[in-house]
């Protein structure tokens, strides 16, 4: 019998840092930015010990330091995480008929036979060969396996198939579904739909009217636990690339913001061209002080890697902002054709 496993490495980035510094085991560890909480920057990850203080990914480092002054703050080291992830994926390859890697710390496996026995063997092998712990969800599709791994944390195994779906997920809020974020959950709540069961039993025409003829039925299918994307070993094709910069001090000069947007747009264009891809659109994100974020986008008339065309689209997107208050962060994303 074929099953899908979702392997999720526990507190991955923090765990890699603790492996390199065993004396930090059990202490609250926060990784992000330059590792200095007195400067601007955001939390990339926090160890479980740090999460007990309410520290989470995306939080400003300064806020994290206020919540846990005794935390150890470290800069991110992408090379170390790349190397650790590659070692883990080599272990997973031995157990999978098909392996689909989803970044540094997670992957889907298509396996045959006793899925729980395979999951336990995977956990043991990853631990023995890399020193890293993982949680594993077992499902009859990728959606259910992905959700199951969250119930398995930390370092456990959990099964979620069609048989268990309603008893486990029926009364949970819609935001607990993989693919539904807080914004979509709020829009569903405006329609009187708050739980997974309510979404599954909703009027498909009503949901489609609110979200569109493709997204509406997809949301209802998610609520039934349906997900037709198979596990695939084909490399995932990125849909976008982006850069962000958090200024050390708030910037109130629009010219500085505009120059940074232009620099990012042109540099991104170079990366896209090197990957033999084309840019179809540009989005600019501005975070105003203290923490108010907005984004504006602009489509290109046709896909291109012409730096002037991409930079011009970024400038047009930026012009849609009123830069009438200090800017904390600026980001540029290019969508790929």
The residues carrying an active-site annotation are 106
Round to whole Å and give the CA distance between 35 and 48: 18
222 contact partners, CB below 8 Å, separation of at least 6: 143, 177, 178, 179, 180, 199
Q: What are the distances in angstroms from CA 326 to CA 61, 207, 248, 261, 330?
A: 19, 39, 12, 15, 11
Closest CA to 295 of 285, 287, 306, 310: 285
> β-strand 45-46 against 240-251: which pairing, if any?
unpaired
- H/E stretch holding 111: strand 106-112
Q: Helix, strand, or coil here: 109?
A: strand
Round to whole Å and give the CA distance between 77 and 74: 9
Closest CA to 100 of 253, 235, 205, 198: 235
Quickly tell me which residue has 């689209």 as its tokens. 313
Round to whole Å and give the CA distance between 207 and 217: 7
- H/E stretch holding 123: helix 115-130
Q: Check: CB of residue 247 under 8 Å from CB of residue 329.
A: yes
Round to whole Å and give the CA distance between 261 and 323: 13
Q: Check: CB of residue 283 under 8 Å from CB of residue 333.
A: yes
């Amino acid at each position: 019998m074929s099953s899908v496993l979702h392997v999720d490495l526990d507190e991955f980035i923090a765990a890699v840092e603790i492996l390199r510094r065993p004396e930090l085991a059990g202490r609250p560890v926060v990784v992000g930015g330059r590792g200095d909480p007195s400067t601007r920057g955001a939390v990339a990850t926090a160890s479980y010990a740090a999460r007990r203080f309410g520290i989470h990914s995306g939080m400003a480092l300064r806020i994290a330091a206020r919540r846990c002054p005794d935390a150890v703050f470290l800069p991110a080291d992408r090379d170390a995480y790349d190397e650790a992830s590659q070692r883990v994926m080599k272990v997973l390859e031995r157990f999978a008929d098909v392996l689909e890697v989803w970044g540094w710390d997670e992957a889907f496996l298509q396996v045959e036979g006793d899925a729980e026995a395979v999951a336990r063997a995977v956990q043991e092998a990853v631990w023995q060969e890399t020193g890293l712990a993982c949680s594993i969800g077992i499902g009859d599709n990728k959606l259910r396996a992905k959700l199951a791994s969250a119930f398995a944390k930390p370092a456990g195994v959990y099964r979620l198939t069609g048989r268990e779906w309603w008893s486990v997920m029926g009364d949970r809020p819609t935001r607990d579904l993989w693919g539904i974020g807080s914004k979509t959950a709020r829009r569903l709540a405006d329609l009187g739909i708050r739980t997974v069961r309510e979404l599954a039993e909703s009027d498909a025409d009503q949901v489609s009217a609110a979200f569109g003829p493709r997204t509406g039925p997809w949301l209802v299918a998610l609520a039934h636990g349906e997900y037709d994307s198979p596990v695939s070993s084909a490399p995932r094709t990125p849909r976008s690339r982006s850069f962000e910069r958090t200024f050390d001090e708030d910037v109130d000069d629009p010219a500085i913001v505009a120059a940074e947007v232009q620099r990012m747009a042109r540099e991104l264009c170079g990366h896209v061209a090197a990957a033999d891809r084309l840019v179809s659109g540009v989005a600019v994100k501005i975070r105003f002080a203290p923490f108010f974020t907005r984004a504006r986008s602009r489509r290109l008339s046709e896909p291109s890697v012409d730096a002037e065309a991409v930079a011009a689209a970024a400038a047009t997107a930026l012009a849609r902002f009123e830069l009438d208050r200090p800017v904390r962060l600026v980001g540029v994303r290019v969508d790929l054709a």
